[in-house]
Amino acid sequence: MRRAYIAGNWKMNLTPSEGVKLAKELAEAAKGCSAKVMVAPNFVTLPGVAEALKDSDIIVAAQNMNDHTSGAFTGEVAPAMLKDLGINTVILGHSERRAIYGESDALINSKVLLALEEGMDVVLCIGETLEEREGGKLEEVLSRQVTEGLKNVTEQQMAKITLAYEPVWAIGTGKTASPEDADGAHALVRSIIEKLFNKTVAEETIIQYGGSVKAANVKELMAKENIDGALVGGASLSVEKFLPIVTFDK
Ligand code: PEP
């Protein structure tokens, strides 16, 4: 049985004081909800939000990290720095990291392996562009991103990996994949995981959907067999918008 996992990616939004305020409001409002809930603030907002949520069930995650443990990497953040704040979860391979900062599957894989080595949980993002989808490359792209992103990850370590399928054309655009299309892509991802590992791992892996998830579409997405959660951008920036997503089953 896969437990629903709803995550809010705050991206480069909210100052530290705004983030702490939202975190406190969310902790109060989401008390007792059945889903696993995570928020991912920017780096400078992480310490305050981690402190504000330390007695709640809400997980605090980083949006990225470096693939080295320390050293001359100006502007970067290492896993030990996150762990020192009590942050044990990291989002890796977000399409904005891939497209804007040129992160390759190989780089993302080295981040995944380091996070796992450090005992962290990972949300690994994958997804095709509109051009790739229209060019009939959905399967090829997802297969490459999953296979290369999870290279050298062991079957045991897969318990620490969540996949987030986010069609790039649906992120921040207001366009959502239809529940049927999203479920089809999730089924494909699950079959790739089965080929790489086995049926049990494939059945146990949580696969979130991301791309303009909101209160109005979360129920029908979550009703699909292969959709186990959501990675939410814009609609995670206020309690009014995020709470109905977190409590989609109410
Ligand atoms: C995201 O940032 O991962 C995302 C899916 O954004 P949005 O919900 O705004 O489309």
Q: Which residues contact residue 209 at a Cβ distance below 8 angstroms, ignoring those fewer than 6 apart?
A: 164, 165, 166, 177, 182, 186, 221, 227, 229, 230, 231
5-246 — its CATH code? 3.20.20.70
> In this predicted model, what pLDDT tens digit does every residue of 93-141 receive, in sequence order?
999 999 999 999 999 999 999 999 999 999 999 999 999 999 999 999 9
pTM, two decimals, is: 0.97
| Residue 208 CB–ligand 1 contact under 6 Å | no
* Cα 34 from chain centroid (whole Å): 18
Which residue's C-alpha comes closest to atom 8 of ligand 1?
233
For residue 166, indicate whether it is catalytic: yes
Q: Average pLDDT over the chain, rounded to whole?
A: 97
Which residue's C-alpha comes closest to atom 4 of ligand 1?
233
- Report which ligand 1 atom has the smallest distance to the Cα of 9: 2
Q: Which one is catalytic: 94, 96, 103, 186?
A: 94
> Given this model, what pLDDT does residue 76 score?
98
Domain boundaries, given as residue ranges, for the chain: 5-246
